[in-house]
């Protein structure tokens, strides 16, 4: 496991604390709709951090040509209908560009600044000059009013148990519990909340800028090369 990242529960656990069996049970939410509403139909798409293909499969069904990237071989074994690449996002260099690069799962909030810089650089390196990068970020209030829980289809309850500062650089340790009737998983991970100004600065450093905000809560944005 990476420092500050931990996962518990049945099945394989990835270095960042993600449980493969858990993610295989999670249903796709609004991500495919967000993507489809922001890019041309049939676009070539590079999905960074695809996991088991929860979003990948829905995008393939909608006619996108998807290259799915993840560092976990156990995750990639579950992906169907897409070209798969095993790699750390920040180290990826395929030598090709895509109409769309997708960086979801609030990966942009990684607790490691150098990794965030590498991820955004990989986004810019792989997006066509007339293409776009779709980025999921934390909505406002993500670390407030904890603990709290939400229910999801399939009998799933998600409990965000705590978000605690670690050090003095703004990084927080977050623990989430996923409860199904027959199994429980937990994940502890580190995130760095970003103000709107910090987010835009990080994009600018990578040669990107916000084109438009895609969701009412501001959690998805479309960025384009500068």
Quick one: average pLDDT of 37-48? Answer: 97
**pLDDT per residue over 155-201, tens digit each?**
999 999 999 999 888 999 999 999 999 999 999 999 999 999 999 99
Contact 72, 20 (CB under 8 A): yes
Query: What average pLDDT does the segment 6-33 reach?
Result: 94
State which fold the 18-140+194-225 domain adopts.
Answer: Rossmann fold (3.40.50)
57-115 residue pLDDT tens: 999 999 999 999 999 999 999 999 999 999 999 999 999 999 999 999 999 999 999 99
Long-range contacts of 203-212 (CB under 8 A, 24+ apart): 203/120, 205/117, 205/120, 206/117, 206/120, 206/121, 206/123, 206/124, 207/124, 208/120, 208/123, 208/124, 208/133, 211/132
pLDDT, the chain, mean: 96
Q: What per-residue confidence (pLDDT) applies to 4?
A: 86
| Domain ranges, ordered by start, for the chain | 18-140+194-225
Decide if pLDDT at 153 tops 90: no
Q: How confident is the model at residue 1 (pLDDT cuts 50, 70, 90)?
A: low
């Amino acid at each position: 496991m990476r420092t500050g990242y931990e996962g518990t529960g049945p099945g394989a656990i990835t270095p960042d604390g993600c449980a493969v069996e858990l993610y295989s049970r999670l249903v796709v939410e609004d991500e495919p709709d967000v993507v489809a509403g922001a890019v041309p139909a049939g676009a070539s798409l590079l999905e960074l951090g695809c996991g088991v293909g929860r979003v990948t499969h829905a995008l393939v069904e909608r006619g996108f040509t998807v290259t799915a990237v993840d560092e976990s071989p156990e995750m990639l074994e579950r992906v169907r209908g897409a070209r798969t690449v095993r790699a750390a996002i920040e180290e990826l260099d395929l030598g090709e560009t895509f109409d769309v690069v997708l960086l979801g799962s609030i990966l942009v909030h990684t607790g490691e600044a150098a990794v965030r810089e590498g991820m955004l650089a990989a986004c810019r390196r792989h997006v066509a000059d007339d293409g776009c990068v779709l980025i999921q970020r934390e909505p406002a209030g993500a670390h407030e009013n904890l603990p709290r829980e939400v229910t999801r289809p399939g009998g799933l309850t998600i409990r965000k148990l705590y978000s605690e500062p670690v050090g003095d650089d703004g990084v927080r340790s977050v623990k989430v519990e996923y409860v199904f009737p027959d199994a429980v998983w937990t994940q502890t991970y580190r995130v760095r909340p970003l103000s709107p100004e910090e987010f835009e600065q990080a994009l600018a450093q990578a040669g990107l800028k916000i084109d438009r905000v895609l969701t009412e809560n501001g959690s998805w944005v479309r960025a384009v090369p500068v």
